[in-house]
Amino acid sequence: MTVQIVKTPAEEALESAFAAMRDGLSGAAGDFAPALRDAAMATFRELGLPGRRVEEWKYTDLRGLLRDVPEPIRASGDTLSETDLYDVLGIDLDEFLAYRIVIADGAFAPELSHFEGTDALFQVLPLSEALANPPDWFREGFGKVNPPERDASLALNTAFMTDGVVIRIADGAKLDRPLHLVFITGSTRRGMVTNRNFISVGEGAAATILETYGARRTPDMLRNAVTEITLGHGAEVEHLKYQNEGRMGLHLSSWMAAIGPGARYRAFQFSIGAGLARNQIFTRFTGEGGEADVSGAFMVWDEQHADTTVVIDHAVPHCKSRALFKGVIDDKARGVVQGKIAVHPGAQKTDANLMAHGLMLSERAEFDAKPELEIYADDVVCGHGATTGELDEDMLFYLRARGLDVNQAQALLTVAFVGEALEKVECAPVREAFVARAAAWLGSDKS
């Protein structure tokens, strides 16, 4: 039985926006996208915005928190420059040698993107083009990479997606530089931006992929970003994300990963922006001998809310997963980590562990951790745990007795706390940028 609940203004706005936009969205003229969008919108109509009643969203009441929905933005027409990229991301792009693909607001920005001479390694298509003229491999895989069941935020993404990056990395290709996917909003108007990425990593290929999200001016964008990624046999991928959206904004994000046999997937998300951030990561082993590390760190203050929700599906035997999340929470901010390890029937020799640790810098801060094990096999090694703590008084005194003032001492200990997670990042320039950002966060410069 479905309980009929009154639609919120935000739900109504989303439905009518879809009706108005449908025929103008990317790929509307083709035979692929419209059906996907309609099905997704039907799912959304049925589910509505997730609120407290939905177990997976019980700490993040999107239904209650999302008051209204701004108009969707595709290309805003505001031009962005290299300097804007630097200001928003805080990563020195001159120093960071990467293949860069920029999505400005809701559209691919070729003038800011640089990935010349890489055809032998990978193929890049803007999502808008792939939706209009889908290649066979895209048509077959898109939307089917380990999607969560009945997830309203994914449904909204599929319904409204405008642009994003579609990448196919060739079998055996070893990328000599990271792929840097930049998602930036430059619009002066408040708006809704919906990005979707689809990445297929060939057999034996190796790549580092960094996604960065930020807003130039408008602090209260509503972004919904989804990345689907498949790893072929023996592929190795480090998949990183830095989220520093405007602090009044909403950032909904889902990563869906399918890890092939013997493949190694390392995911890490560092999240400091947005008023409300929901980071979902769904990973599934699809072949034996796979390894995954799904970790992250977040630092929030004021009234920010950061939710990380992870499901690691051990669907086949002989796979190994590790997950470590660390959150620093100041003022009245709230951190949430929900992590589920699901060991399917027959997935023997699974080796899985998930930990979540919260550091509270204020008495009004809140940390909710819900690690879960769901095990349907008997020959497995699984562990999980969560802790919440404050800075250690004895450590603080020791540092202050050596001349560090209270801010310096707190900063050093806080960076040491998140540092344990940040150390997981293998790509050195990104790791160093994260550590530097974490150190600066506690100083005056939190935004």
Partner 1 sequence: MLEIKNLHVRVEDEDTEILRGIDLAVPKGEVHAIMGPNGSGKSTLSYVIAGKDGYEVTDGSITWDGEDLLALSPDERAARGVFLAFQYPVEIPGVATLTFLRTAVNAVRKARGEKELNTADFMRLVREKAEALGVKQDMLKRGLNVGFSGGEKKRNEILQMALLEPTLCVLDETDSGLDIDALRIVSEGVNTLRGPERAMLVITHYQRLLNYIVPDRVHVLQEGRIVRSGGKELAEELERTGYAEFGEGKAA
By the 8 A CB rule, do 169 and 260 touch? no
- Minimal distance, residue 323 CB to partner 1, in Å: 19
By the rule CB under 8 A, 359 interacts with partner 1? no
Instruction: Quote the CA–CA distance of 443 and 410 in Å, as a whole number.
Output: 10
Name which position in 373, 408, 429, 440 contacts partner 1 (CB under 8 A).
408
Cα-to-chain-centroid distance, residue 58 = 19
Instruction: Quote the CA–CA distance of 83 and 102 in Å, as a whole number.
Output: 13
Stretch that binds partner 1, among 100-108, 170-178, 214-222, 411-419 (CB under 8 A): 411-419
Name which position in 412, 425, 433, 438 contacts partner 1 (CB under 8 A).
412
The 377-406 contact track toward partner 1, x by CB under 8 A, reads: ---------------xxxx-xxxxxxxxxx
By the 8 A CB rule, do 108 and 163 touch? yes
- Nearer to partner 1 by Cβ, of 4 and 444: the residue is 444
- Minimal distance, residue 419 CB to partner 1, in Å: 5
- Minimal distance, residue 107 CB to partner 1, in Å: 42
Instruction: Quote the CA–CA distance of 204 and 231 in Å, as a whole number.
Output: 9
- Nearer to partner 1 by Cβ, of 254 and 295: the residue is 295
Tokens of 386: 């969560």
- Which DSSP symbol is given to 162? -
- Minimal distance, residue 416 CB to partner 1, in Å: 3
By the rule CB under 8 A, 324 interacts with partner 1? no
- Minimal distance, residue 281 CB to partner 1, in Å: 24
By the 8 A CB rule, do 163 and 126 touch? yes
Instruction: Quote the CA–CA distance of 35 and 29 in Å, as a whole number.
Output: 11
- Nearer to partner 1 by Cβ, of 419 and 429: the residue is 419
Give the closest residue to 283 by CA, choosing from 308, 310, 317, 250: 310
Q: Which residues share a beta bridge with 339?
A: 310, 371
Where in 219-278 is the site for partner 1 (CB under 8 A)?
Answer: none
- Minimal distance, residue 423 CB to partner 1, in Å: 9
- How many other CB atoms are there within 10 angstroms of residue 255's CB atom? 24
By the rule CB under 8 A, 413 interacts with partner 1? yes
Tokens 């293998």 locate to 426
By the rule CB under 8 A, 121 interacts with partner 1? no
Q: Are strands 165-169 and 122-126 parallel, antiparallel or unpaired?
A: antiparallel
Instruction: Quote the CA–CA distance of 254 and 277 in Å, as a whole number.
Output: 11
Instruction: Quote the CA–CA distance of 298 and 309 in Å, as a whole number.
Output: 13
- Nearer to partner 1 by Cβ, of 258 and 409: the residue is 409
Stretch that binds partner 1, among 227-235, 253-261, 345-353, 412-420 (CB under 8 A): 412-420
- Nearer to partner 1 by Cβ, of 19 and 395: the residue is 395
By the rule CB under 8 A, 292 interacts with partner 1? no
- Nearer to partner 1 by Cβ, of 278 and 326: the residue is 326
Instruction: Quote the CA–CA distance of 398 and 406 in Å, as a whole number.
Output: 11
- Minimal distance, residue 401 CB to partner 1, in Å: 5
Stretch that binds partner 1, among 57-65, 331-339, 363-371, 408-416 (CB under 8 A): 408-416
- Nearer to partner 1 by Cβ, of 65 and 413: the residue is 413
- Nearer to partner 1 by Cβ, of 386 and 413: the residue is 413
Tokens of 157: 């993404």
What three-state secondary structure class fits 125? strand
Where in 100-119 is the site for partner 1 (CB under 8 A)?
Answer: none
Tokens 């479905």 locate to 2
Stretch that binds partner 1, among 136-144, 237-245, 251-259, 414-422 (CB under 8 A): 414-422
Instruction: Quote the CA–CA distance of 316 and 51 in Å, as a whole number.
Output: 32
- Nearer to partner 1 by Cβ, of 42 and 395: the residue is 395
Rg (CA), the chain: 21
Instruction: Quote the CA–CA distance of 45 and 159 in Å, as a whole number.
Output: 11
The 36-75 contact track toward partner 1, x by CB under 8 A, reads: ----------------------------------------
- Minimal distance, residue 396 CB to partner 1, in Å: 9
By the 8 A CB rule, do 345 and 315 touch? no
Instruction: Quote the CA–CA distance of 35 and 446 in Å, as a whole number.
Output: 43
- Nearer to partner 1 by Cβ, of 67 and 402: the residue is 402
Instruction: Quote the CA–CA distance of 65 and 2 in Å, as a whole number.
Output: 23
By the rule CB under 8 A, 12 interacts with partner 1? no
Residues in the interface with partner 1 (CB under 8 A) total: 23
**Which residues make up the interface to partner 1 (CB under 8 A)?**
392-395, 397-406, 408-409, 412-413, 415-417, 419-420
